[in-house]
């Protein structure tokens, strides 16, 4: 018996034109009427989610920032979150700078729509577009004195080159490195660095424990690399048609 339904957002529930179909919206309402827990598990921050979804959207929990936190959607209370400590953030930032990689350091939950950035002079178009979306929340990075501390995550935007991603990932063995497909150009690789305990599966597990639900009683739907751990965790896993072949 299914007691919880989890869906990814971008490319799964949310179409490329940033809309939820009438059919899917009604399905979420019906799940609520049947007392089935509804969860959205997304790479978006709470702020980013609020830009595309109304505050009364028919969902019970939001697993946000790829599992860096869980929100009770009715009350908007953040139930738990993971941040990288400031000392580790500085270490990672210095290493990325030494590699000549442009990056963004997002603020701690729940302010992870704020960020500081380092640019190497060759900015990926996605890097620029994301800056435009978050105009007013960005600052150039400063190391001395530092204008950053604890952080929800790092964001590095790469060309669609899996080999390059794996090379960079191997340089950061002590943290969680997640690959996601760009929600902007639907092609580039977004490399995200988190606290080692971050995953969508961890967020779903937290909700399961609170409701005494077994993974075998959970259905999940995803479409991208950052959904893999979530789909492996649940008893009923599905991919949408636009999922990568890998």
Per residue, what are the HEC states of 60-118?
CEEEEHHHCEEEECCCCEEEEECCECHHHHHHHHHHHHHCCCCEEEECCCCCCCCEEEE
246 in a structural domain = no
User: How many distinct structural domains can be found in the chain?
Assistant: 2
Tell whether 231 is covered by a domain: yes
The verdict on 91 and 187 lying in the same domain is yes
Range 157-161, long-range pairs (CB < 8 A, 24+ positions): 157/102, 157/124, 157/126, 157/127, 157/130, 157/182, 157/188, 157/189, 157/190, 157/191, 158/124, 158/188, 158/189, 158/190, 158/191, 159/124, 159/188, 159/189, 160/187, 160/188, 160/189, 161/189
Secondary structure element (H or E) that encloses residue 5, with its range: strand 4-7
Q: Where are the strands (E) in 107-228, listed by range?
A: 115-118, 138-140, 154-158, 176-181, 189-194, 218-222
69, 134: one domain: no
Whether residue 219 lies inside any domain: the answer is yes
Q: What is the pTM of this model?
A: 0.93
Distances (CA, A) of 139 to 64, 120, 131, 172, 179: 23, 15, 10, 25, 25
In a domain, 188, yes or no: yes
**pLDDT tens digits, residue range 188-197?**
999 999 999 9
100 in the same domain as 174: yes
Stated length of the chain: 246
Phi, psi of 93 (to 5 degrees): -60, -45
111, burial (CB in 10 Å: exposed 0-12, middle 13-18, buried 19+): middle
User: Per residue of the chain (246 residues), what is the pLDDT tens digit?
Assistant: 999 999 999 889 987 778 899 999 999 999 999 999 999 999 999 999 999 999 999 999 999 999 999 999 999 999 999 999 999 999 999 999 999 999 999 999 999 999 999 998 877 888 888 888 889 999 999 999 999 999 999 999 999 999 999 999 999 999 999 999 888 888 899 999 999 999 999 999 999 999 999 999 999 999 888 899 999 999 999 988 655 555
Please give the structure tokens belonging to residue 9.
């957002």
Same domain for 45 and 144? no
* Domain membership flag for residue 245: no
Q: Are residues 134 and 102 in the same domain?
A: yes
Same domain, 184 and 212: no
Same domain, 94 and 114: yes
Q: Are residues 36 and 91 in the same domain?
A: no
Its domain, for residue 15, covers: 4-80+197-239
DSSP 170-181: HT-TTSEEEEEE
Residue 228: inside a domain: yes
- Read off the CATH number of the domain in which 100 is found: 3.30.1240.10
Q: Can you give the pLDDT at residue 40?
A: 98
Q: From 226, 236, 243, select the one nearest 68 (Cα to Cα).
A: 226
How far out from the chain centre does Cα 195 lie? 13
Identify the CATH number of the domain in which residue 22 sits. 3.40.50.1000
Indicate whether 94 and 190 sit together in one domain.
Answer: yes
Residues 36 and 55 in one domain: yes
pLDDT per residue as tens digits for the range 65-90: 999 999 999 999 999 999 999 999 99
The answer on 204 and 221 residing in a single domain is: yes
């Amino acid at each position: 018996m299914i007691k919880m339904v989890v869906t990814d957002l971008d490319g799964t529930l949310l179409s490329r034109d940033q809309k939820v179909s009438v059919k899917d919206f009604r399905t979420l309402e019906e799940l609520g009427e049947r007392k089935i827990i509804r969860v959205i598990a997304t790479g978006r921050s709470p702020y980013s989610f609020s830009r595309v979804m109304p505050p009364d959207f028919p969902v019970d929990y939001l697993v946000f920032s790829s599992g860096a936190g869980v929100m009770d959607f009715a009350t908007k209370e953040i139930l738990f979150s993971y941040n990288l400590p400031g000392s580790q953030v500085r270490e990672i930032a210095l290493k990325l700078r030494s590699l000549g990689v442009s990056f963004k350091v997002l603020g701690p939950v729940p302010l992870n729509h704020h960020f500081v950035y380092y640019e190497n002079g060759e900015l990926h178009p996605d890097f620029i577009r994301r800056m435009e979306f978050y105009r007013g929340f960005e600052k150039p990075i400063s190391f001395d004195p530092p204008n950053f501390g604890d952080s929800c995550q790092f964001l590095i935007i790469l060309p669609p080159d899996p080999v390059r991603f794996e090379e960079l990932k191997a340089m950061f063995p002590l943290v969680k490195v997640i690959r996601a497909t760009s929600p902007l150009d639907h092609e580039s690789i977004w490399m995200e660095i988190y606290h080692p305990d971050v995953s969508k599966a961890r967020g779903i597990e937290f909700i399961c424990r609170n409701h005494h639900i077994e993974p075998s009683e959970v259905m999940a739907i995803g479409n991208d690399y950052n959904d893999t751990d979530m789909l492996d965790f649940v008893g009923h896993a599905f991919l949408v048609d636009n999922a990568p072949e890998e």
